[in-house]
């Protein structure tokens, strides 16, 4: 499960960065955005079975997972209601969260860190 989660998270990171650089409101922006949303939904939901951080129990990271799902929902509702700034703020915030989560995943003793030999 960790490999699927890692692969999807890497894809989400790339899609998110790409979408932040695309012209907003275009068909391409919407397609990349929905692809990112589906990918991030998989990333968040696939995190629940991963419990190595807290000896088999849920950890604070799972709380961030719930927060991420909430933020994505708020962003979608916002754009459907024409609240572009709210949408942008929540999407940018979620991307910052993805980047921070990736950096934490590189911490010594974590799975990705062990793959890199650190």
For the chain, what are the domain ranges? 2-115
Lowest mean per-residue pLDDT among 25-34, 37-46, 98-107, 108-117: 108-117
Averaged pLDDT, 82-103: 94
- What sign does the CA torsion over 3, 47, 94, 37 have? positive
Question: How confident is residue 52, by pLDDT bands cut at 50, 70 and 90?
Answer: low
* Measured CA distances, 61 to 34, 46, 51, 73, 96 (Å): 24, 12, 9, 19, 15
**pLDDT at residue 59 above 90?**
no
**pLDDT at residue 24 above 90?**
yes
């Amino acid at each position: 499960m960790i490999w699927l989660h890692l692969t999807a998270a890497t894809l989400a990171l790339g899609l998110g960065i790409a979408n932040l650089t695309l012209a907003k409101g275009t068909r391409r922006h919407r397609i990349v955005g929905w692809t990112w949303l589906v990918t991030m939904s998989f990333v968040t939901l696939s995190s629940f079975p991963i419990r190595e951080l807290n000896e088999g129990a849920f950890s604070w990271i799972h709380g961030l997972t719930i927060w991420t799902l909430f933020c994505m929902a708020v962003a979608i509702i916002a754009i459907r209601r024409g609240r572009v700034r709210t949408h942008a703020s929540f999407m940018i915030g979620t991307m910052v969260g993805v980047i921070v989560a990736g950096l934490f995943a590189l911490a010594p003793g974590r799975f990705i860190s062990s793959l890199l030999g650190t």
